[in-house]
Amino acid sequence: MQSSKSSLPALTLGAIGVVYGDIGTSVLYALKEVFASGRVPFTTGNVYGILSIFFWTLTVIVSIKYVVLVLRADNHGEGGLIAMLALASTSVKNRPKLRATLLVVGIFGTCLFYGDGVITPAISVLSAIEGLEVVSPAFKTYVIPLTLAVLFCLFAVQKRGTAGIGRFFGPITLVWFAAIAVLGISHIAHNPEILQALSPYYAVLFILHDPFDTFIILGAVVLCVTGAEALYADLGHFGKKPIRLAWFAIVMPALTLNYFGQGALLLKNPEAVKNPFFLMAPDWVILPLVALATMATVIASQAMITGAFSVTKQAVQLGYLPRLQMRHTSVRETGQIYVPFINWGLFVAIVLAVVMFRSSSNLAAAYGIAVTSDMLITTILTFFVIRYGWRYPLWLCISATSVFLVVDVTFWASNLLKLEQGGWFPVLIGAAMFTLMMTWKKGRALLNEKLKADSIDLKSFLEAVFVNPPTRVEGTAVFLTAEPGTVPNAMLHNLKHNKVLHEQNLFVTVRSHEVPWIGMNKRVEIESLGHSCWQVILHYGFKNDPDVPRALELIRGRGCEVEHMKTSYFLSRDTVVPSIGRGMAPWREKLFAQMHHNASGAADFLNLPNNSVVELGSKIEI
């Protein structure tokens, strides 16, 4: 965790840039979309009511639920939906059916994150560039091309990493929050009575006056909490205290001031509803404000892209996605990675979103279902963590989560109404990712069952081999095997074709666990099999980077010495052949076979030296 390396002010500044970039740019479009629906007439009471709903939505969902409560549910210092899922599944490990259900629900929520990752950069950057239309309507034709150009540049630089420019994220976003606060104050000063809307009385009055319309507009109100999940997801990078300090000292006050400033402007000039954020600013400030807003939205998008890389890595480690090519972009921060397939896949989907929807207002209709679903799933998983993991009394667990459950279900149900207007788009992306993940998980299980059924017991096999041992050659052979205690196919092929056995033989199994980190002191299990052969199991958390050669250094002094220059790594490269049987549907078996074929090499994933790897292939029917 970074919190042990940096000072509180530095971490707080970093949190402002990375954690709050997304929610900080929601002022560009959130209030505009509520009034743009046409369901809320312009009356003083309605403006007060909407502002009060905004303030108390931020207070209940972000301040109380995420900042105060959910941040407590850390998984060895790590946060995010996958960390919460790992906590919940561990908490109910003695209830296999419940655990399986929670895993499916949690993975579906993780898949929806990709849908959110498409809509967020699209709506953020597009809403910033749309500020040019306030300068002159003539700029309207340039909004889409400029948005696509900005997004292309953003995705093109991902392979270089963010180590160089990342240090500017915090300061730029801090300037952004200062700017939106000043804009808000300048309008509140002309109508200080607007601050009365801080009282929940106006929210309750608005809801009671028209419950149906209130329910409908919640689909737009939810835009003010975009990025709330990032609070929890970035817990491991910054720690609880910096995230909480940044929220209560900087972010929440700035957002509140800006929303109330927009409200004051609308009371004075209802026509400003077409773009209240940019119309708050004097004419001479609009162009610099567009530039600052664009930088802020790019930073917010960067955090989402980085999050997608991180979630992908964790899903691979937990066995829900095939190995993908991953490049480390920093020599100091292991968490900074670049995944080319995810990077350009997101870019293509975002371009489709921008071209199809063409405005931030249209994209707002697509936004909400993914994020409210994730919020709902987080609340559900939290219940099982505090009930079965922390063993709190049932009445306390129900009372602690029921309020948030009601709020989340209400927002989620309201957003379901936007399904036909565009909400289908992020759901479709999430559903596609869910199909891939569950197909891969099921396919791997079937493959392992087949390998286990055809496997030979390792100890018995070695006893038989050493009755009449083959020629022993100098050096160490490391055989990678999915199941400990079974003979690797690579060893069978090696004995069949080369008719030799190395001086030392290690049978290594790499296991990933539902905890983020496993330290070096718990990395290795080793068991002697006799005849200079050892069974080795390497343990990794879902945020650890597997590194087999480095892990094998830990067995020195335990009866086995591994010299890198004299070590060969033998891998089985299995080709999956779909067949009609009891496995998956034929189309899923074909999909799994294709995913298995396209998976990046195990050698790169396990950090094996390329000049010491021997791959031996075989065909396996599932």
Torsion 102-106-108-109 (CA) sign: positive
Same domain flag for 459 and 517? yes
In terms of domains, do 459 and 397 share one?
no
Per the structure, the complete domain to which residue 284 belongs is given by 2-315+339-348+364-416
Interval 324-374: pLDDT, tens: 888 877 655 555 778 899 999 999 999 999 999 988 888 888 888 888 999
Quick check: is 444 in a domain?
A: no
On whether both 386 and 520 belong to a single domain, the answer is no
DSSP structure class, residue 69: I
Same domain, 409 and 465: no
Q: Does residue 394 form part of some domain?
A: yes
- The label of the residue with tokens 């379901």 reads 416
Question: Helix, strand, or coil here: 571?
Answer: strand
Report long-range pairs for 131-138 (Cβ below 8 Å, ≥24 apart): 131/275, 131/277, 131/278, 131/286, 131/289, 131/290, 131/293, 132/290, 133/275, 134/275, 134/278, 134/279, 134/286, 135/283, 135/286, 135/287, 135/290
Residue 391: give its domain's CATH number: 1.20.1740.10
Q: How far is the C-alpha of 405 from the C-alpha of 78, rounded, in Å?
A: 23
383 and 483 part of one domain: no
Domain shared by 202 and 273, yes or no: yes
* 516 belongs to a structural domain: yes
The whole-number mean pLDDT for each consecutive block of 10 residues of the chain, a chain of 622 residues, reads: 63 87 91 82 90 96 92 80 87 90 91 89 91 86 93 88 71 96 96 95 94 91 86 81 94 97 93 90 92 92 85 87 81 69 94 92 85 92 91 91 94 91 91 95 86 84 89 91 87 84 92 86 91 92 88 85 88 76 82 86 85 78 70
Domains identified in the chain, total number: 2
520 domain-assigned: yes
User: Looking at the structure, do residues 398 and 493 belong to the same domain, yes or no?
Assistant: no
Instruction: Compute how many other C-beta atoms are within 10 angstroms of the C-beta atom of residue 595.
Output: 17
